[in-house]
Structure 1
Amino acid sequence: MKNISFAIISIIFFVFSFYSLHAREKNNIFNRNITHAANDSVKSAKKKLATIDPPVLIAAGNQIYCPQTSLNIVTSITINHDIAETATQAVYIQISSGYSSGLDQLELSNTASHPSIVTNWDATAGKLKLSSPTGADVSYSDFEAAVRDVVFSNSSADASGTRTFSITIGQANYLPSTQHYYLFIPSIGITWTAAKTAAEASTYYGLKGYLATILAADEAQLIGEQASGTGWIGGSDAETEGTWKWVTGPEAGTVMNYTFWNNGEPNNQGDEDYAHITQPGIGIKGSWNDLSNTGSLNSGDPYQPKGFVVEYGGMPGESPLQIAASTKITIPEVQPLIPNPVCDSGSFTITATPITGITINWYDVPTGGTALGTGSSFTTPILNSTTIYYADPGCEIKRKAVTVTVNPTPDIPTTTNPTVPRCGAGSVNLQASSNIGIINWFTTAIGNTSIYTGNNFPTPTIDTNTTYYAEASNNGCINNTRTPVDVIIYAPPAVTDEKDIPLCQGQKIVLDAGITGMAYKWSTGATTQTIEVMTGGTYTVEVTSPAPESCPNTKTITVKEHLIPKIDRIETNGTTAIIYLTKEEDYYEYSVDGFNFQDSNTFYNIPGGLQTAYIREKNGCEGTTQNFVILVFPAFFTPNNDTYNDVWEVTGIENYPQAQVTIFDRYGKLLIELKPSKMFWDGTFNKIPLPSSDYWYALKIDNTKPVLRGHFTLKR
């Protein structure tokens, strides 16, 4: 809080007198003459002090106000004045705290009784001026009478809070919470340092001025939002960048706390070291931003300084002026506590804490009616149903409804089915209802904790007979008689799925449900235990146990049709053969001798000549065969008449009667062409034995197959 002291001295502040008497003069004249004029003002005031005492205002009127009505701001007002001074130019009345712009208003009622006074309402400042229509002084007695007829009104039914009214002789805004005065001095383009000097050189009825400092929310509103202009205030971070302090008045050296009335500033950029109330329309209304000492130098710029705010009061040795008085009104509010509900019937005691000086009346209607009781509590009669009462803090428009709730106890729950069967382990949906409220489910007939809430209860998975209990509850009113619901678990028929049952192509197979004495429903539509099928696929049969269980279970049988194998081709390479089918299946097996079968379709070291490939289905279904020829080309021969390898002969060539074999020496010379009548070579050319060497052959089986080429060795 600001240090406040009291004194009788009133030194008329030149700046104020200049502003009030010569507002139309240019600001630059004020800036040139403010220091000298202030000194002259002090001398003049000292001279006046010897003969005239300043007026003392005494007002009363701490009242309760009901929104959307009019109320006099004072119940009494006295202006004690020096007998030598019986009149003054103006009286100012301001809503100095709690002001709601656009909704709050001050006006003079009964204007016909005050012909010597006219009013001027400043909606921005929340300030009403009473003065003469001619500019002449008005007697203090006339001002007293007029102030008694000034009324306050608020147009909103939702208005709340407290309004403080300051009544003062001087034009400066007065704040009762600080007992300080605040005056905006217009001066376009003035620097912060010049404003600080001018403020400190000024006085107001003997109080020394300084650039305003702001310590509370109501002070921020009065200076920032309700001031007649915007300009410099006494904050700076010139000493330490980023650390903002008040550097003027009794708070000099105190770190600024501006979180409650500013947002987004300061931005602490460059040399912006001085606090300036922001121009309306820029940022948050009534907030401040940081500027350089000169601010913007561009005329009309929103950041060009428009003046400065001077504060008076609180300096060491000063006593507060008594040229101002204050009253306040409070808009009453009441918040009754809602009592706990009762079951079926009962009485309630409703309580509410009133504002000091307010009497609460209790009603059973929102408007009008007769009060049922008075005081901070009210006890109802015995009630059998929910009822609304109203707490009235003295303003009908501020009546607050409070509902006292009577909840009926619900009936015993009823269930759709007291016994619910289920086939096998799993969840069932249990249903119960009552005439009102909700259903809670339990695992015991009494006590324990609810495991589910709702009319439809999906149980957890259960595999044995279980009983659950339904209990009806209505907002805490419980019918303690619980209704049991039995869950009976029946075992479904035990069936076993069968997979990949082989079915030979073109044949039939019998499928069996696998359990007797049941009802059957096959996916084919059959209703017998067994069915006969002749195509592959997936077959299902629903097997249902006899009543009362009537539990179904489904068996799935997959039938895989095994096709008769078809040979696409057989490829040979020397003594190796690979058998290719048109469709390979894992249920086929292969052989080249009809006895030894294998899963692989590749065979090695097959003897030369005509061979047979065998392919069969592993489960005995029909198979297939195909002949193929293995041609064996000897790698060498030794024509020495020892009966071993005496000739070079291609084994198996006899199976190709149209085949032709030609033999060449290493230089490509044709030596012999073997005919079907003679398919061997004895190693001679024109009956002359050829030397040991490598020789080359070319075999053409027919026009559909490629020519086979290779070489062999003749050894002697």
Structure 2
Amino acid sequence: MYSYEWRIQGQAGVVGTSAILPINITATTTYECTITDSGRVAPDNIATSSITVTVNPIPSWNPIANVIAHGNYTLPAITGTNIPANAAFYDNPAHTGTPWNAGDVVDPSLFTTNPATIFVYGIDANGCELIEQFDIEFVDAQVTITPGGIQDVCDGDMVTLTATTVPATPYGNYSFNWSDTQGTSYPNTSSITVTVNVATTVSVTVNDSGVENGTDMGGFDMTDFNVLPVIDIDDLVDQNVTGSFTFPAITGTGLTGAEAYYTQPNGNGIMYNPGDVVTAADFAVLPIALYIYDDNGSCSDEESFILGIMDPPMLSLTISTIGNDFCAGESTTLTATVSPATAQGSYNYEWREQGATTVLSTAMSLTVMPAVTTVYECTVTDTGLTTNNSTTETLTINVIPVPELNPIGSQIATGSYTFPSIGGNNLSGNQLFYTQPNGLGSSYATGDVIDITDFITYPVTLYAYDINASGCDDEISFELTINPVVVIPEPEEPLFVIPDYMTPNNDGYHDFWRIDINSADVTVTGIYIFDRYGKLLKQLAPDGIGWDATYNGNPLPSSTYWYQLKYEVNGVPTETTGFFAVKR
């Protein structure tokens, strides 16, 4: 029969005597086995053989602790001893699907649960496996600032901001990174105090030191501050008025435009706006304390004053103007002055001519130009009164007739000139001629005679002027030319042939009146025809067919008509006048 002896090579002692040797080794070992056949004779009864058992090392990793991560997680390297080269991360215990390698980034979307388990698996060439796992939980920090959103604050206000985190307890430690748009530094605390002087945005970012990627957690919130100006209402002194009180404009700095007056503090009670009018009837008790109040939602201010209202005095009215006597055609302004000067409501004016119903004006003043003496009356009404609220006064404007001088045409004389009568209406009897306007210069009366030497040049402008005792005056002017006396020798025949009459009846005889020139030494400069009242009817051309006894195409009646002939003889100007008859 066979007998067995197992030994470890190089070591004494038998480790087994069976055909099969169970072993449990942790290192590579060579085993020898000697077999003896008891039915054989030595040396052929013994055989010896050896075998080397190689032991490969088992993979051993550096454990990855359970992970708390924010947003995502970058898988680390799998480290340890004898780590298989194909070691990787899996999302299931069967180690199936596409593996993740070190450096890959995982986020909650890759898992069906949170927390989740990540499985580590690898196998080497000898079949030795690395099988491990760890848990991962994705977390997010939320933060809310109180007060938050948009805050309206007064310039210079101090506001405490508090950051409230979710979860309330961090995994490690929360850090609070406060900042604003002005670059202000703030402490790493959950609450800060901000002094607001300009519009700014204050924000906070919260990070958790116990969370992977915690420094980028981005728990974020912000508060916007609008800086409202500080309201400062100007003080109003106590008011004591008569009849009514008009609330004045409210002044100050930072006003909202909604500032108003109130009967109670802090914008309570009855409100009045600037311009509103109150009387004693509006209040149960006088004097009364009133309040000026304004509020922009964050800032407010208030001032107060005492108002007293006394009963108004009776109305009185005076109408004034510059004098009462005026020349016809002159204008003057009537002005109504009311006492008291300030109405309880407002003053309404109505001007009329006395006895008439037509209202001439509703203004404080009335400008008139009466043609005759007129009495004007004005009624003034105070809209703020219900009794004794109107008064009426009158004023008489005396109208003095104005002198009206008749016009005098240009005058041409030879050698000397006799001043004619001055005609017209409403004359004072003191009318004279003057060498300058407005009764100035040298004066001449009707009938006075001047000769060519009284003036240096011609024509000269002279003025007829009249003024009465009331100062009403009138003036006309005309040009005077005095030509030297020229002795013209009598011609052998007349210089002109001037008809004494005409018969414009279209019978071919004397139908036109004209002047014929008999001398080549004569130059006619103008032929003019006038009616008996001095109205110019026609200017004739010296070489024309003459006058047909019409005016503007209409036949003129039988009468006596005047002519004026201006001409020069050898360059010396002169004129002659006369008349002729029109017979129809």
TM-score, normalization by structure 1: 0.26
Greater length-normalized contact order (CA 8 Å, ≥ 6 residues apart): 1
Task: Name whichever structure is richer in strand by fraction.
Answer: 2
Task: Name whichever structure is richer in helix by fraction.
Answer: 1
Structure with bigger gyration radius: 2
TM-score, normalization by structure 2: 0.30
